[in-house]
Structure 1
Amino acid sequence: MPPKNPEQNFLADRFEADRARLRGVAYRMLGSLPEAEDAVQEAWLRLSRADTSGVDNLSAWLTTVTSRVCLDMLRSRKSRREDALLDGGPEPSVSGEDAIERETILADSVGLALLVVLQALSPAERIAFVLHDLFDMPFEQIAPIVERTPDAARQLASRARRRVRGGEAPLDAAQTAQKTVVDAFLTASRTGDLAGLMAVLDPNVVVRADVFAGGGQTRELRGAERVAAFYNGLAQTARTALVDGAIGAVVAPLGKLHLVLDIRVENGKVVEISAVGDPRRLETAKVAAV
């Protein structure tokens, strides 16, 4: 219902000015646009009921409230042994191509590989990492949200940071070269650049898919022409990632981990791609953003 007094009108205007930013905060914590919108709506309800006369920084107050709502949602999700990045979470509250496009754009802006990694963090680690590393909130403000001391909050973020980055050293020269090839392959696939695909595929490239990735049966493709034709216009949601310490890719539509692509590169060409959709492998795969 619309606000009924000047104060409510003022709060509503201030909230609308922060809505997009709060949605971004919540999305990075929850990995689901419908859940993020629910969290933001709950933040508005709490704002509308709260006495904010003593609040000096309303934007910071709203960030704190939204973060606490997200933390409660993450804890509830964990207690149900659910994870929205793997099982999809609740059905979207809005449907149709427009809703899918909105979430796809938001997921891509965050980084799909990062969303996949974040799902492996504990709720407190996730909150601390997102607020500090992505939104520059000081640990003194994060501490009461995650119910820790500032030093403990700093440790949560540090632990999360190591997991997000795979606990690895920066990419070495060989990995950097492999990433360049994988990036080129995925870009050519996504944009329907057949010539670009042929340029990065070894003439004898082999693609293998397990039963989950192959539509109920294992599949195999051989030869650059067949592989290029198959991937031409494909891989719309695939992004380069570090998978179990090696350069590969994840296919994660709307942040939901669907496939892992193990991509072997030799002499600047893709020589082998293994598409793995086995849920057991996806649960154990160590994915890091690159």
Structure 2
Amino acid sequence: MAAVTTGTPAAVFEEYRPLLTGLAYRLLGSMWDAEDIVQEAYLRWTRTDTTQVREPRAFLVTVVSRLALDQLRSARVTREAYVGPWLPEPVDSRSVGPLDTAELRDTLAYATLHLMERLTPPERAVFVLREAFELPYDTLAEIVGTTPANCRQLHHRAAKRLADERVGGGDSRPSASRTGRSGAAPSREHALLVSRFIDAARDGDLEGLTALLSEDVVAWNDGGGKVRAALRPVVGRARVLAFVTGLLERYSFEDLRLTEANGQPALRLALDGREQVTLFDIREDGLVHGVFAVLNPDKLGHLAPG
């Protein structure tokens, strides 16, 4: 059947590159890996008879998804040997394609990416492709290598698991959004809470910090063996406060400022001369339930300067 592509194959690919990069990043949580996957997809595209491709977007999404799924399966083994907690790489949202739907924004949100690490590779692939990119189950079945009925089960299981994780595992009711990001705070409230956190940390205001943290708050610190960081999650408000207090007493917090990462407000600072970015899981109760500190310098290269 005649193709509907216009322009050179390279121009067609470049039109979809941001979307494909955003897809690969959501599946892998690593921009370095996502860019490698997209480049491999480009090489395969240049070796394809594009005159026979009726829908370039669908074709390229399929290629990138399959490559990312293979990468995700091997990455799980690599991440088990990672020094300390492995956190997704924070990114400048302008580098990962459009964010013009709630689902595209929700699947880029840092807390969601972190939770998706607990899904199996097929669950994660089906969840992202269905939620953010609205692929039909027949297409998902071809990508994952299973049946449409099984893809429905994978999607349901992934959405339920994310929803349960967001409410502590004790409530299986469907969330307000399709993604299972139950109870996430609206962006304006999120920005306000991050600003309050910055002020309290800058002033050493432990009472102010206490008021911002939920009782079940967990802090993750990703140094990747490159810089000193806690090797295990810090669980509970009392322990997180003690951890922060220790940092305040031992180090100088330099140049605390609000920045953007993954389409959300985040905290950027230098801790004892080492750059880090901290993101937050803030929910509708107005409290911080998760603190994600990324100190590994290898993971800070895809953020806007400032």
Q: TM-score scaled by structure 1?
A: 0.60
Residues 83 and 119, structure 1, Cα contact 8 Å, conserved in 2: no
Residues 116 and 162, structure 2, Cα contact 8 Å, conserved in 1: yes
Offset of 1:232 from its aligned partner? 9.6
Offset of 1:102 from its aligned partner? 3.7
Residues 118 and 126, structure 1, Cα contact 8 Å, conserved in 2: yes
**Is 1:233 matched up with 2:240?**
no
Q: 1:83 to 1:254 in 2, by over 3 A?
A: farther
Q: Give the secondary structure class of the aligned counterpart of 2:8.
A: helix
Residues 26 and 36, structure 1, Cα contact 8 Å, conserved in 2: yes
Alignment correspondent of 2:208: 201
Alignment correspondent of 1:67: 65
Which aligned runs of 4 or more in structure 1 are off by greater than 2 angstroms?
A: 51-54, 78-89, 100-106, 166-171, 178-187, 192-198, 200-214, 218-222, 229-235, 252-256
Q: Give the secondary structure class of the aligned counterpart of 1:249.
A: strand
Q: Which one-letter code corresponds to 1:188 in the other structure? A: R
Q: TM-score scaled by structure 2?
A: 0.57
Q: Give the secondary structure class of the aligned counterpart of 1:53.
A: helix
Alignment correspondent of 2:17: 19
Instruction: Report 1:115-154 matches (<5 A).
Output: 115-154=113-152
Q: 1:124 to 1:20 in 2, by over 3 A?
A: same
Unpaired stretches in structure 1, ≥5 consecutive residues: 1-6, 93-99, 257-290
Q: Give the secondary structure class of the aligned counterpart of 2:291.
A: strand
Distance 1:120 1:247 in 2: 20
Offset of 1:53 from its aligned partner? 2.9
Alignment correspondent of 1:275: none
Residues 104 and 253, structure 1, Cα contact 8 Å, conserved in 2: no
Residues 280 and 292, structure 2, Cα contact 8 Å, conserved in 1: yes
Q: Give the secondary structure class of the aligned counterpart of 1:87.
A: coil
Distance 1:205 1:19 in 2: 39
Distance 2:122 2:292 in 1: 26
Distance 1:10 1:202 in 2: 55
Residue by residue, what CA displacement relative to the aligned partner does 1:130-180 show, whole Å, maximum 9, x if unpaired? 000111111111111111101101111111111222263459xxx97x999
Alignment correspondent of 1:188: 196
Alignment correspondent of 2:294: 253
Offset of 1:249 from its aligned partner? 2.0
Distance 1:51 1:250 in 2: 48
Alignment correspondent of 2:86: 87
Distance 1:104 1:230 in 2: 28
Unpaired stretches in structure 2, ≥5 consecutive residues: 100-104, 177-181, 221-228, 235-241, 258-265, 268-277, 298-306
**Is 1:45 matched up with 2:43?**
yes
Offset of 1:19 from its aligned partner? 0.3
Q: Would you tell me which structure has more helix in proportion to its own residues?
A: 1
Distance 1:74 1:68 in 2: 10
**Is 1:158 matched up with 2:156?**
yes
Q: 1:231 to 1:31 in 2, by over 3 A?
A: same
